[in-house]
Structure 1
Amino acid sequence: MLRPSPLVEQAAAHLREQITAGVWPVGAKLPGETTLARELGVGRSTVREAIRALTGAGLLRTRQGAGVFVVATEPAEDLRARLRRASVVDVYEIRMMIEVRAAELAAERRTDEDLAVLDAALAARNRAVAEASDEVFVDADIALHVAAVTAAHNPLLADLFAEFVPVLRAGLLDLVRLVDARAADAEHGRAAHAGLVRAIRDRDPGAARAVIDAELRQTLAYLQGG
């Protein structure tokens, strides 16, 4: 019998041990809630919450009218965990996919409020190129890109991009410190980012796409050692 607290965590851990040990292999159907509650010495509501937790971890799946089945023996790795161990180049390639489409949507959907945010972010980035520390420069650069993604008015897209920001920040800081990226950015970067904001202002999805694609490809080339 399990200790009284925390019951859900203990129940989930016990069920996971049973799955990992092969008591219930992939494809197996778990016993009913009543049976599991009796075996674990807890209430059915506790069993239900434990099953919900393991379902969220990708180990179990509930089939309506059929029961609960084992679908994996190891928990699914969430996006943040994958990003932490991914290479910055891999992350950057996905960033390009997100931002190119986001720029197009921003050009189609932007509001006057979005433009005000983009203008302020662009001004802050321009100041940071020459005047600020590496950290402030990278943060200002990312803030402008966040503003562009936000202007696409797709909350899921914005949330997905936000997941990438910590890894992007670390990679860009390394890049700035390893090569004279800020000096190279002084002309090209200013023009490219101003062009992005202008394309969004002009509601020109094609131009927005072209500008952000070229800008991100250049940074990816730096990251790849080109």
Structure 2
Amino acid sequence: MPLATTRRTGLVDQVIEQIRATVAAGEWPVGTRLPPEPELAGTLGVGRNTVREAVRALAHAGLLEVRQGDGTYVRATSEISGAIGRLAGTELREVLQVRRLLETEGARLAAGHRTPEELAELERAMAACTEAEGAADLAAFIRADLTFHQLVLRCAHNAVLAELYRGLTEVVHASVATTVAGGRCESHTGLLAAIRSGDAAAAAAEAEDFLDSLLREHGDPSAVTTNVRRVIA
């Protein structure tokens, strides 16, 4: 989404919102270097001091990172994600415990609220997961698996739950990458079937059982903390 010239009231807040929206839309993925300050100021139609103040606020919130002598980079997909990245909660066991809470309720709600179009998206995500598994393409598999989980939460039609989960994007991605061992597409077939049939109890049970199995397998925090931090970094 292209940046637009801001109105002349609440300039700093408007710049913050535009940068936030651009990052959330995926136009500036994590790791992207923002345009230089003069270029941003010209595009937005504001002074450099306004841009500097907005960037400072977003860096403090954890969305951006200012590297002296290098530039400003996108650090996270949202302020929630940035805050989580600063916590000790990047330990795999803790991430899986939080995922268990959110994904179990998300699956329960998704079974009752998903639309036919959203179900089709879930089916496509599962197909992409299966295809990546068959091709032994680990990177594609991780992307498809993460997309599937995100879609389930979106199908819940609970804006607060979806935003909380979106804020966990980086650590969820890290947990998927850390725990994946061979293909796991078949582990989601029961969940997809329950959502397809509208069985809320079965969907919640499938999600809960899946995360419980990961916790049993990866429950030793001393063995996995470093791995998760390395994936996030």
1:104 aligns with 2:99: no
Cα separation, partners in 2 of 1:79 and 1:172, compared to 1, 3 Å: closer
Query: Are the aligned partners of 2:107 and 2:152 in contact in 1 as well (CA < 8 Å)?
Result: yes
**Contact kept in structure 1, 2:146 and 2:176, CA below 8 Å:** no
- Aligned amino acid, residue 108 of structure 1: G
**Where does residue 158 of structure 1 map in the other structure?**
162
CA RMSD of aligned residues (A): 2.8
Structure 2 distance, partners of 1:140, 1:166, is: 15
Counterpart check, 1:114 vs 2:118: yes
Equivalent pairs, count: 148
Distance 1:206 1:134, change over 3 A: same
Give the aligned residue type for 2:178.
D
Structure-2 separation of matches of 1:92 and 1:106: 20
Instruction: Give TM-score, length-normalised by structure 1.
Output: 0.58
Give me the whole-angstrom Cα distance separating, in 1, the residues matched to 2:80 and 2:112: 32
Whole-Å separation in 1 of the counterparts to 2:144 and 2:92: 19
Matching of residues 120-159 of structure 1 within 5 Å: 120-159=124-163
2-structure distance, mates of 1:131, 1:168: 23
Deviation at 1:222, TM superposition (A): 2.5
- Contact kept, 8 Å, 1:103 with 1:200, in 2: the verdict is yes
For residues 1-226 of structure 1, the aligned pairs below 5 Å read: 80-84=82-86, 85-86=88-89, 87-176=91-180, 181-182=181-182, 185=184, 189-190=185-186, 192-225=187-220
Match of 2:98, as an amino acid? I
CA distance in 2 between partners of 1:156 and 1:118 (Å): 21
Aligned-partner residue type, residue 205 of structure 1? A
* Aligned AA (2:162): A
Q: CA deviation at 1:137?
A: 1.0
Q: Which amino acid aligns with 1:155?
A: A
Task: Please tell me whether Structure 1 or Structure 2 has the larger radius of gyration of its CA atoms.
Answer: 1
Q: After TM superposition, what 4+ stretches of structure 1 lie above 6 angstroms from structure 2?
A: none
Identity of aligned residues (%): 35
One-letter code of the match for 1:158?
A: A
Conserved? CA contact 2:119–2:196, under 8 Å? yes
Please report how far the alpha carbon of residue 175 of structure 1 lies from its aligned counterpart in structure 2 after TM superposition.
Answer: 3.0
Change (3 A) 1:209 1:78: closer
Evaluate the alpha carbon distance shift between residue 140 and residue 82 of structure 1 in structure 2; reply closer, same or farther with a 3 A threshold: same
CA shift digits 1:178-223 (9 cap, x unpaired): xxx215x3xxx41x31111111111100110111111111122222
Contact preservation (8 Å) 1:88, 1:168:
no
Note the residue ranges of structure 1 that are not aligned, 5 or more in a row.
Answer: 1-7, 9-48, 58-76
Shift of 1:133: 2.4
